Amino acid sequence: MVRTALVTGGTRGIGRAVAIALKSDGHRVAVAYHGNEEAARAFAHDTSIPTYKFDVSDFAACETALKQIEQAVGPVDILVNNAGITRDVQLHKMTPAQWHDVIGTDLTSCFNLCRLVIGGMRERGFGRIVNISSINGQKGQFGQTNYAAAKAGVLGFTKALALESAVKGITVNAIAPGYVATDMVAAVPQEILAKIVAQIPVGRLGHAEEIAGIVQFLVSDKAAFITGSTITANGGQYLV
């Protein structure tokens, strides 16, 4: 069945791969982005998937955008909360802004978008929510108290919302990717990235399409009995 999907942070990296994969499955797809206008224009040109610019950490902005998306594309049946940023610095040097920016984009966004779509999903008796966490939300990471806290929070949020929503035909799951070849990972200094890859048993970074494949499964009817789960995809780097 054709569904309407919204992917946040959807014009680059994992989000881009997810949006393209869901469209290939026949779904109507919209993506949200915030910062990179050039990437958004290129994505829209390449994929013909509509893009919507708004700040996922701002509830009012999300509410306005959701109304536009529902009018243009349809009520959201599939939500992939993928938007995320880093502001890496050790805690004793971290500013309140660096803390709040990451918590807002990486965690509060899950509340904002889920809160706005969950009512309609409950009424229709169907929903698929996939929240993108991180290996560093499971094991922690030096210089990422803000990011690790946000991504760990996503896992608790996922479990609680899954319990609340299961009776209404809504599944809520999380994916915790390891290090995937995206712009965010490319920004890591090469000498540090080489050390990271050396710790991955499969010997390489992940591909965005591999994470997208997990999303495709979790939003399908084949995954209807899976909810409240975290799927780890990290090449064996951290075993949970």
Q: What pLDDT digit, counting tens, does each position of 181-194 carry?
A: 988 787 788 888 89
Predicted confidence at residue 108, as pLDDT, reads 98
Residue 73 is given by DSSP the state T
Which of 52, 147, 179, 238 does the annotation list as catalytic? 147
Residues in the chain: 240
pTM: 0.96
Order of strands across the sheet that contains 51-53: 51-53, 28-33, 4-8, 78-81, 127-132, 170-177, 230-233
**Sequence-ordered list of residues with C-beta below 8 angstroms from that of 66, at least 6 positions apart, any chain:** 76, 113, 116, 117
pLDDT above 90 coverage of the chain, percent: 93
94: nearest Cα among 14, 149, 163: 149
- What's the first-to-final CA gap in the chain, in angstroms? 34
Better-predicted residue by pLDDT, 140 or 187: 140
Indicate if the pLDDT at residue 67 is higher than 80.
Answer: yes
Predicted confidence at residue 224, as pLDDT, reads 98
Q: Where are the domains of the chain?
A: 4-233
Predicted confidence at residue 206, as pLDDT, reads 97
Handedness of CA 138, 210, 196, 98 (dihedral sign): negative
Mean pLDDT across the stretch 26-44?
96
Residue labelled with tokens 């243009």: 72
Average pLDDT, the chain: 97
d(CA 70, CA 117): 10
Q: State the Cα torsion 71-64-120-21 to the nearest 10°.
A: 70
Q: What pLDDT digit, counting tens, does each position of 199-213 carry?
A: 999 999 999 999 999
d(CA 215, CA 175): 8
Predicted confidence at residue 65, as pLDDT, reads 98
Residue labelled with tokens 């509060």: 108
Q: What pLDDT digit, counting tens, does each position of 44-61 carry?
A: 999 999 999 999 999 999
Better-predicted residue by pLDDT, 193 or 105: 105
Plot region of 155 (φ>0 → left; ψ -120 to 50 → alpha; else → beta): alpha
Indicate if the pLDDT at residue 83 is higher than 90.
Answer: yes
Predicted confidence at residue 187, as pLDDT, reads 78
Handedness of CA 94, 95, 99, 102 (dihedral sign): negative
d(CA 128, CA 47): 23
Active site residue 147: yes
Predicted confidence at residue 186, as pLDDT, reads 78
The architecture (CATH level 2) of 4-233 comes to 3-Layer(aba) Sandwich (3.40)
105: nearest Cα among 79, 134, 85: 85
Predicted confidence at residue 146, as pLDDT, reads 98
Predicted confidence at residue 1, as pLDDT, reads 85
Q: State the Cα torsion 107-113-116-122 to the nearest 10°.
A: -90
108: nearest Cα among 57, 147, 173: 57
Indicate if the pLDDT at residue 106 is higher than 80.
Answer: yes
